[in-house]
A = this chain, B = another copy of it.
Amino acid sequence: MLESLKQSVLEANLDLPKYNLVTFTWGNVSAIDRNQGLIVIKPSGVPYEKLSLESMVVVDLEGKVVEGRYSPSSDTPTHIELYKAFPEIGGIVHTHSSHATAWAQACRDIPIYGTTHADYFLGEVPCTRSLTEEEIESGYEKNTGLVIVETFKTKNKNPVYTPGVICANHGPFAWGKDAHEAVHNSVVLEEVAKMAYMTECINKNAKEAPVYLQNKHFYRKHGANAYYGQKELL
Contact = CB atoms under 8 A, between A and B. Distances in A.
A74 B202 contact: no
A54 to B, nearest CB: 12
A70 interface: yes
Interface residues of A, number: 63
Contacts of A169: 113-115, 209-210, 213
A123 interface: no
Contacts of A199: 102, 105-106
Interface string A101-114: 11111111000011
A136 B171 contact: no
Interface of A: 23-24, 26, 43-46, 50, 70-71, 74, 96, 98-99, 101-108, 113-116, 130-131, 133, 136-137, 140, 169-171, 184, 187-188, 191, 194-203, 206-207, 209-210, 212-213, 216, 220, 227-231, 234
Q: Which 3 pairs of residues, A with B, have the shortest CB-CB distance?
A: A45-B229, A106-B203, A102-B198
